[in-house]
Chains A and B, each alone.
Chain A
Amino acid sequence: MAVDQPTHAAATPAGDQSRIHDIGYRGYDGPRLGRAYARRSLYSQSLRGAYGLGRSVKSKVLPMLLFAVMCVPAAIMVAVAVATKAHELPVSYTRYAIIMQAVISLYIASQAPQAVSRDLRFKTVPLYFSRPIETADYVRAKFAALASALFVLTAGPLLVMYAGALLSKMDFAHQTKEFAQGLVSVALLSLLFAGIGLVIAAFTPRRGFGIAAVIAVLTISYGAVSTLQAIASTQDSDSAIPWIGLFSPITLIDGVQSAFLGGSSAFPGGVGPSHGEGVVYVLVVLGLTAACYGLLNRRYQKVGL
């Protein structure tokens, strides 16, 4: 009944050369790179995201600003040291992160929720887990990305200081050793802070709450610990000071580096933990980091699909 239309009508060239032709569906026969590749991609996407790269201009402002705030004092110190031909930098590599802890806290509070709460809040998580990657891959990629972002934030100024120290011809061996100790210290700090920030953020899907909760945990614990330490110091119970220091993230890092990494302690009276106590500090740092990783895994087992 119907007139037999030539079925190729659509394929005959249309007069307009600028027209885009629908070439139909093409399959994909190329390689599928699997879980490890997906994990790496998620890592790099999250790391870039932690500095607002690949995101809107608005979300670049805060992380970039905080990075600048971290680096500017280091640059000023270097400039002063070079100008005055000093033989030592005014602040040691290990002290720097402790002094700048407020900036680090702000960074982790703003970026941890951005790394995980968005996926939870917009329910993007099921799209990941309907693909080859599994819970542990997701958690590891996010953890590693935020820890790396924090490392960039904390090691960046150290690099500025080290470069400045070498430029002003300070003792190379001494500077290198201290710089390396500083790097180990900020690496530990990055792991610990990333873990704490991610756990809090993963349990508070609302971004605002996440930010507030991270800041609260970091500052309240530090405030409480340093107050108790001060009280202990005035009560002449100096032996209690190192043990109190175990209860806040930043004093934990302070303790580890003053015990093993040649740092001077910010504890009252400059009394850092002894080597024996330092071992406890290291164990607590590693234990907390592992606990955060475990908690994150458990959290994501639940939110699956």
Chain B
Amino acid sequence: MVRITTVEDVTVIATESLSKRFPRVTALDRLSVDIGPGVTGLVGANGAGKSTLIKILLGLSPATEGRAEVLGLDVATKGAAIRERVGYMPEHDCLPPDVSATEFVVHMARMSGLPPAAARERTADTLRHVGLYEERYRPIGGYSTGMKQRVKLAQALVHDPQLVFLDEPTNGLDPVGRDEMLGLIRRIHTDFGISVLVTSHLLGELERTCDHVVVIDGGKLLRSSSTTDFTQTTTTLAIEVTDSDAHPDGTRAVREALHARGVDTHGEAGGLPGAGHILLLTATGEETYDLVRDVVADLGLGLVRMEQRRHHISEVFTSSDDQRKEAVGHGG
């Protein structure tokens, strides 16, 4: 069953010059940002103000100034209503070791207001969706880090929220576990229809998972834009072709043919094995793809690969100082 997200085309989270000052530090400094449905990454170094923002958005900590809305509800006055509709997965360990995942998640579902029978049913469903099967009847104390993260995720999803806050969900996971968790986060939106705000200090993982990325630093908004904006301002194409009898060095033939048509290719991809066979060129639009296809076909070669080499979000940080001013004006 495909669920239609009712918040489609609506702002899920909106903040307006939101500030939070503690006696000695300013955790958030006039943060204004609009976040729509989908998977949104909240990126920032440790202490950038990510957790403070989540606390304010859950209505648990009052802002010093400014205002914020979650799902159209004001965080200052509608905290309980917000918390009924959102889920929260904390960064730290939060599971008692002596109960089973099923018991724990059922209890948390009831704490969210689900009647007993619905709580049990939703728990079974949710644990299955996050990938916990027979082990869900065993005490949590014996789980691996990856399994614990799944239980934490399940308790955030069990009441079928409209939005979930995931605080550093990939912390402490090995690369495989990390990939699985990121895939799961993607599915929360695409399959479950739940919007996600996921924090991380690792930009690379958000690039693959999020539709939109908000970068904050020192409590200030550094940049807010869709991941396609981040990574596709210039797209680099990597192509690899086969060799044929007519063209013993297919790569060179293609390069020369492209040059003849006025397309520049640049350096080959690093020192990886077989890198000599990969051509990199800058795509200026759809026509570049067609051109490559035609050139390769005309030469009678096989096109082994043609893929986008994305720029990494981490480049945002290297060029962030120039963009800082522009971004703040941009965020509103």
Contact = CB atoms under 8 A, between A and B. Distances in A.
B219 to A, nearest CB: 18
Interface string A40-51: 011001000000
A55 B99 contact: yes
Interface residues of B, number: 42
Contact of B114 (A33, A122, A134): A33
Contact of B55 (A28, A132, A305): A305
A118 B61 CA distance: 24
B122 A305 contact: no
Nearest to B104: A124
B114 A32 contact: yes
A35 B110 CA distance: 10
Given A25-B1, A32-B114, 13 more contacts: A25-B192, A26-B1, A27-B192, A31-B113, A38-B112, A38-B113, A56-B98, A56-B139, A124-B96, A126-B88, A130-B88, A131-B108, A305-B58
Contacts of A124: 94-96
A50 to B, nearest CB: 15
24 contacts: A24-B1, A25-B129, A26-B1, A27-B3, A27-B160, A27-B193, A28-B159, A31-B113, A33-B114, A35-B113, A41-B111, A55-B99, A56-B98, A59-B98, A124-B95, A126-B90, A127-B111, A130-B83, A131-B108, A132-B84, A133-B111, A304-B60, A305-B58, A305-B60
Contacts of A54: 103
A30 interface: yes
Contact of A34 (B84, B87, B129): B84
A34 B113 contact: yes
Contacts of B122: 28
A128 interface: yes
Interface in B147-201: 155, 159-160, 191-193
Contacts of B81: 132
B115 interface: yes
A96 to B, nearest CB: 34
Contacts of B328: none
A194 B332 CA distance: 52
B118 A28 contact: yes
Interface string B51-87: 0000100101100000000000000000011011011
Contact of A122 (B84, B94, B103, B125): B94
A122 B95 contact: yes
Contacts of B98: 55-56, 59
B329 interface: no
Interface of B: 1, 3, 55, 58, 60-61, 80-81, 83-84, 86-88, 90, 92-99, 103, 107-108, 110-115, 118, 122, 125, 129, 139, 155, 159-160, 191-193
A28 B1 contact: no
A32 B99 CA distance: 25
Contacts, number: 112
A304 B122 CA distance: 26
**Is chain A's binding surface mostly helix, strand, loop or mixed?**
loop
Given A32-B84, A129-B60, A304-B60, A122 B112 contact: no
B246 to A, nearest CB: 24
Contacts of B84: 32, 34, 131-132
Contacts of A134: 80
A26 B80 contact: no
B232 to A, nearest CB: 21
A208 to B, nearest CB: 15
A275 interface: no
Contacts of B115: 30-31, 33, 37
Contacts of B129: 25
Contacts of B192: 25, 27
Contacts of A131: 83-84, 108, 111-113
Nearest to A42: B111
Nearest to A134: B80
A118 B83 contact: no
A35 B83 CA distance: 11
A128 B94 contact: no
Contacts of A34: 84, 113
B143 to A, nearest CB: 13
A122 B104 CA distance: 13
A111 to B, nearest CB: 15
Contact of B110 (A25, A38, A127, A130): A38
B119 to A, nearest CB: 9
B41 to A, nearest CB: 20
A55 B88 CA distance: 25
Contacts of B95: 122, 124
A62 to B, nearest CB: 14
A35 B80 CA distance: 9
Nearest to A44: B110
B1 A132 contact: no
A123 B80 contact: no
A123 B60 contact: no
Contact of A41 (B110, B139, B155, B160): B110
Central interface residue in B86, B107, B113, B160, by most chain A CB within 10 Å: B113
